Amino acid sequence: MTKTASVVIIGGGISGCAIAYNLAKKGVKDVVVVERSYLTSGATGRCGAGIRTQWGTERNCKLAKFSVDFFENANEILGYKRDIEFKQGGYLIVAATEKEVEQFKKNVELQNSLGIPSKYLSPQEAKEIVPHLDETKILGATFCELDGHLNPFHTTEAFAQAAERLGVEIMTFTEVVGIDVEGDKIKGVHTTKGYISTPIVVNAAGGYCRQIGDMVNVDIPTYSERHQILVTEPVEPMQEPMVMGFSLNIYTQQVPHGSFLIGRGDPTEPKDLRITSSWQFMEKMAKTACDLLPALGKLAVVRQWAGLYNMTADAQPIYGPVKEVEGFYLAVGFSGHGFMLGPATGQIMAEIILGEPTTIDVSDLDKDRFARGELVLEPSVV
């Protein structure tokens, strides 16, 4: 079966669905989303699902603030009948080294200048917000009440349903097997369910974006890295904010259901596409969690899982077209914060594709910045 589309988006995660929704809202007809498995089957459905405005670069602050503002009203904007479960309990980011204390004070200054009401706290003040925190393990903390977390499945579903109402076609369990290029221009996409003729392809394939790039001979300067999360049995609500530490290497939130999600990064992870679970993670993660939040030691772990971060050298995404192939656009390399930036990604990518001025300038987040050596380093990542 052959069909024709104006835009084919590869990837049915938050980015792909948000881009599709925004394109359709701007009146683009015949937008198709192609997803290899089910919606949210990749990193979106595997992430910690936090959103924070407390970043170390101006642009990340702006992208995140845009997304928080959107999430606050997402049920209404997207006409979602259920609930994306946005809980703004804040983010408590703990500093455990002098270097972090210094960086965090700078971050708060930057954030405040951009209208983000974060504040720097002493260990004692941090303990008042999270009473089960062992304050002797930290030197300070920052807190912002705008931050929080939401349900990645509902959020993606909300975007997808809104997009479908606007005429977007979402093809799940459909794998892209090849992309036709003629004279450096995109011509169409071969899938396991037939050929789609299209002048524009958006690569929103997350951890698998390089495989898509290979189909058009575009080398995408990202790598995928396994990150793991464990989840505990539920208990009554006891922790409002996400608790996060960069040098301590932990982020943990209590979801509305009562379970704790606890995750971390591991620099020794192999750079491949595996998403298996490891016992090493469980052992190290549990120790870190119990050191910082001793009460959690009494909770039983229910299970663990893994997903892929698609990393760039400066931990910021790659947005926009590529020079090599006309009609090939990238929304990749989110480095672990693609879910929270979803609304901004959707808006900005739609604007870029339609040649409109972008809400937030991302022109220097192109693919070739790495080759030029113009990195925009984000200091605050797990």
Residue 132 binding other proteins, by CB under 8 A: yes
Report, in Å, the least distance between residue 129 CB and other proteins: 17
Of 258, 354, 363, 368, the one binding other proteins by CB under 8 A:
258
Tokens of 1: 């079966």
Stretch that binds other proteins, among 11-19, 197-205, 229-237, 242-250 (CB under 8 A): 229-237
Mask for 88-127, x = binds other proteins (CB under 8 A): ----------------------------------------
Report, in Å, the least distance between residue 293 CB and other proteins: 10
Report, in Å, the least distance between residue 121 CB and other proteins: 23
Task: Count interface residues toward other proteins (CB under 8 A).
Answer: 12
Of the pair 60, 232, the CB lying nearest other proteins is at 232
Of the pair 194, 258, the CB lying nearest other proteins is at 258
Of the pair 92, 296, the CB lying nearest other proteins is at 296
Closest CA to 271 of 355, 207, 338: 207
Q: Which of residues 344-363 bind other proteins (CB under 8 A)?
A: none
Residue 313 binding other proteins, by CB under 8 A: no
d(CA 59, CA 55): 9
Tokens of 242: 């996400």
The half-sphere exposure of 333 on its side-chain side, counting CA atoms within 13 A, is 25
Report, in Å, the least distance between residue 261 CB and other proteins: 15
Of 77, 114, 235, 286, the one binding other proteins by CB under 8 A:
235
Q: Which of residues 276-295 bind other proteins (CB under 8 A)?
A: 295
Residue 285 parent element (H or E): helix 279-292
Of 136, 183, 236, 373, the one binding other proteins by CB under 8 A:
236
> In which order are the strands placed within the sheet that holds 2-4?
2-4, 194-197, 185-191, 176-182
**Which residues, at least 6 apart from 299, have a Cβ–Cβ distance to it below 8 Å?**
232, 233, 235, 260
Of 296, 332, 348, 382, the one binding other proteins by CB under 8 A:
296
Q: Are 329 and 320 within 8 A, CB to CB?
A: yes
Report, in Å, the least distance between residue 259 CB and other proteins: 9
Report, in Å, the least distance between residue 232 CB and other proteins: 9
Q: Give CB contacts under 8 A, 24+ apart, made by 271-280.
A: 271/223, 271/224, 271/225, 272/224, 272/226, 273/207, 273/208, 273/224, 273/308, 274/226, 274/306, 275/46, 275/226, 275/305, 275/306, 275/307, 275/308, 276/226, 276/306, 277/228, 277/304, 277/305, 277/306, 278/228
Count of Cβ atoms closer than 10 Å to residue 184 Cβ = 12
N-term to C-term CA, the chain: 44
Of the pair 255, 381, the CB lying nearest other proteins is at 255
Report, in Å, the least distance between residue 254 CB and other proteins: 10
Of the pair 70, 260, the CB lying nearest other proteins is at 260
d(CA 232, CA 246): 22
In the chain, the amino acid numbered 239 is Q
Stretch that binds other proteins, among 6-14, 49-57, 296-304, 323-331 (CB under 8 A): 296-304
> Reduced to 3 states, what is the DSSP secondary structure of residue 109?
helix
Say if strands 7-10 and 91-95 run parallel, antiparallel, or are unpaired. unpaired
**Which residues, at least 6 apart from 337, have a Cβ–Cβ distance to it below 8 Å?**
60, 64, 381
Residue 300 binding other proteins, by CB under 8 A: yes
Q: Are 284 and 264 within 8 A, CB to CB?
A: yes
Of the pair 252, 312, the CB lying nearest other proteins is at 252
Stretch that binds other proteins, among 72-80, 234-242, 272-280, 325-333 (CB under 8 A): 234-242
Of 167, 177, 238, 377, the one binding other proteins by CB under 8 A:
238
Of the pair 238, 354, the CB lying nearest other proteins is at 238
Which parts of this chain interact with other proteins (CB under 8 A)? Answer: 132, 233-236, 238, 258, 295-296, 298-300
